[in-house]
Amino acid sequence: MRVRLRLNSRVLPVLVLAVLLLEILDPSMAWSTLLVLLGGGWLLGWLWARALAGGLSFTREMRYDWVQVGDELEERYTIVNDSGLPATWVEISDHSSLPDYHASLATLVGAYSSCQLETRGLCTRRGLYTLGGTSLQSGDPLGIYTLTIEDASTRSLLVLPPVVPLPAIDVTAGGFTGEIHPRSRSAEPSVAAASVRPYAPGDPIRLMHWPSTARHGTPFVRTLDGTSAADWWIMLDLDGAVQAGEGWDASSEHAVILAASLADRGLRAGKAVGLALNAEQARWQAPRANADQRWVIMRELALARSGGVGLGQFLALAGGSFTRRSSLVIITANTEPAWLDALAGLRWRTGLIPTVLMLDPLSFGGVGSASGISALLQQAGISCHVITRELLNRPEAHPGMAGRWEWRTSATGRAIAVRKPQQADWRRLS
């Protein structure tokens, strides 16, 4: 830690020297008394501040390496005074980059004693932030000197987007044929077996159902459920040119919440979920259904910033990642029909039928209506859901569980924790 001692007023040394000269030139009880008062106060302040500089120290600890929007962030400060003089005032200043978070506080610490202080703050914006550095200020009771102890230790904190309950959104399944109709009871290997049916020319022999064939005397094959076990691709369009609104109410923030919530829904349903992110830095995460995929997707969404290219160009770039069996969900606020040509080309090459979640710019204070392009998509046989600002602008959009305790009171009056924060151990900034 860096320790600095600062004299608050340069006038005091000048006054002491002036009084000393007057006492030398014209000795007087008044000058002597004033010299003792000024000089003694100066000396006392310096000795007090020097004692605190050698005895004061502090540590800063935090809980959690990551949180969600809406979570409480807890920190703990331990201030130790090993000197024989009390710190009559101590002020802690926080220099973190976390928005809307102010961990500064003030207290006093007696001689040869210590104290612990805890602070809490609400995480309001997703992103990667830095907690720390920290500075402690104290001084002598006369206010002559200010002691500053600076700790440059920091720790990174990742704030993930919230996951909220969504209304019913039917994701068009992969494995579609023709325009919009699924192949009914198709004998394909990527979906689950449902029943049996008579053999038709072209059916694979490996799907033959021999017990039914023997029982009926004619060939039967296993039929497969028409609901595909396809991968989910979530395409999030954060093209800065089409976003509306500011801060929490921006269409880009609502788009990120939609993507996070939809990814969570898919992974909980056992789907392999991937992410195609059209942002300041384009990112692709291949579909996976393992436990780490949720963290990977949430981290990408937490760090995503508006920018990137137009949706039509991004569709052309990302088209090679999708297969016929992909279930593609496009989240965008682009109401210009120009990108529909690229979407038509993607459908022609892959045969997939996407689902579009269209954020209505008008509800975010922008221009352009989603109704026109929604009608065009519906005419093309593409499911389109119009998302307004009001859908996610509610308290449920700030859930967060990592920083919350939940208690119940027993019959004897004892408080029992029924939900504890995740990763609740204290971690020192380093």
Map out the domains of the chain as residue ranges: 1-162, 187-199+206-225, 232-397
Choice among 42-46, 394-398, 410-414 with the minimum mean pLDDT = 410-414
The token pair that represents 327 in the structure block:
């279930």
The lowest-confidence range among 60-69, 108-117, 174-183, 286-295 is: 174-183
pLDDT at 388 over 90: no
Query: Would you state the pLDDT for residue 168?
Result: 75
The reported pLDDT for the residue numbered 310 is: 92
For the ranges 202-206, 233-237, 368-372, the maximum mean pLDDT occurs at: 233-237
Q: In this predicted model, what pLDDT tens digit does every residue of 71-97 receive, in sequence order?
A: 888 889 999 999 999 999 999 999 999
- Write down the pLDDT at residue 419: 52
pLDDT score of 177: 35
Place of tokens 């992103």: 127
What local confidence, expressed as pLDDT, does residue 428 receive? 75
Q: What is the pLDDT of residue 413?
A: 47
* pLDDT reading at 52 higher than 90: yes
Greater pLDDT, 396 or 206: 206
Confidence of residue 227 (pLDDT cuts 50, 70, 90): very low
Q: What is the pLDDT of residue 415?
A: 46
Chain segment 186-209, per-residue pLDDT in tens: 333 333 344 677 877 666 776 788
Predicted local confidence at residue 66, as pLDDT:
77
The pLDDT assigned to 424 comes to 56
Q: Is the pLDDT of residue 251 over 70?
A: yes
Residue whose C-alpha is closest to residue 233's, from 147, 162, 326: 326
**Tokens read off for 229:** 């076990």
User: What's the whole-number average pLDDT of the chain?
Assistant: 82
* pLDDT greater than 50 at residue 243: yes
Per-residue buried b or exposed e for 57-72, using 16+ beta carbons within 10 Å of the residue's own CB: bbbbbbbbebbbbbbb
Q: Which of 222, 221, 176 is nearest to 351 (CA)?
A: 176
Is the predicted pLDDT of residue 176 greater than 80, yes or no? no
Which CATH number among 2.60.40.10, 3.40.50.720, 3.40.50.300, 3.40.640.10 corresponds to the domain 1-162?
A: 2.60.40.10
Q: What percent of the chain has pLDDT over 70?
A: 83
Would the pLDDT of 396 be above 50?
Answer: yes
CA separation for the pair 375, 380 (Å, rounded): 9
pLDDT > 90 in the chain, percent: 35
Q: What pLDDT does residue 181 have? A: 39
Q: Rounded to an integer, what distance in angstroms lies between the CA atom of residue 361 and that of residue 334? A: 8
State residue 229 phi and psi, 5-degree precision.
Answer: -90, 45
Which region among 235-249, 354-368, 377-391, 400-414 has the lowest average model confidence (pLDDT)? 400-414
DSSP secondary structure letters along 91-103: EEEE----TT---
CATH fold of 232-397: Rossmann fold (3.40.50)
Task: Report H helices in 269-386.
Answer: 291-303, 311-318, 340-350, 370-379
pLDDT, mean of residues 336-343: 91
**What would the pLDDT profile of 106-161 be if each residue is shown by its tens digit?**
999 999 999 999 988 888 889 999 988 899 999 999 999 999 999 998 888 899 99
Cα 272 from Cα 287, distance rounded (Å)? 5
pTM listed for this prediction:
0.72
d(CA 357, CA 427): 41
The model's pLDDT over 260-312, given as tens digits with 9 standing for 90+, comes to 999 998 998 888 999 999 999 888 899 998 878 999 999 999 999 998 789 99
Write the single-letter amino acid at 415. Answer: A
